[in-house]
Amino acid sequence: MTFLSILISLIFTWGLGLALPLLLRYKFLKRPVSKGIAFLVVFLVYFVQFFISLLAGNEGRHTALGLVAIVNFGILNKGYAEYLIKKSVYGKEEIPKDLDLEGHKNCPNCQNEVHINATICNKCNKEITASI
Ligand SMILES: [Zn+2]
């Protein structure tokens, strides 16, 4: 294998492999998906890449494609549990912009970052309701 062919192989495997899940997660859906949907997308990407690499005559790429699949699954599914909590607390369409994906929200009074389930701010001691 020449350096160029290794480079092309890397771009094909990782660039192409991560593109669809990254676009889905951060551009189109802008949220994590369930394990089932993540698995479906990952499987689809894996299958397409596997098929292309078969056509290209590179059959020794299973390991790299497997790694891409694992990373893709993480990209798509990570933070889904927190997403479900937000959804159940705020409803699907009313997720506040100041609520980040790690399960925190900002106190409406002093903007202090508190846990998503917090009812009293630990900085200003004001009550925090779910209807920020
Ligand atoms: Zn506060």
- The tokens describing 83, both together, are 């997403």
* Res 35: pLDDT: 93
* Res 75: pLDDT: 94
Q: Domain span at residue 45? A: 3-78
Q: Are residues 23 and 64 in the same domain?
A: yes
Flag whether 67 is in a domain.
Answer: yes
For residue 2, report the distance from its CA to the centre of ligand 1, in Å: 59
For residue 118, report the distance from its CA to the centre of ligand 1, in Å: 11
For residue 74, report the distance from its CA to the centre of ligand 1, in Å: 34
Count: domains in the chain: 2
* Res 37: pLDDT: 93
Q: Are residues 42 and 14 in the same domain?
A: yes
Nearest CA to 96 among 75, 111, 81? 111
Residues near ligand 1 ion, CB 5 Å cutoff: 107, 109-110, 112, 121, 123-124
| Tally of CB atoms within 10 A around 36 | 9
* Domain end among 78, 100, 122: 78
pLDDT along the chain (132 residues), means of 10: 81 88 91 93 92 76 85 94 79 57 80 86 86 44
Interatomic CA distance for residues 24 and 88, integer angstroms: 22
* Res 117: pLDDT: 81
Phi, psi of 41 (to 5 degrees): -65, -45
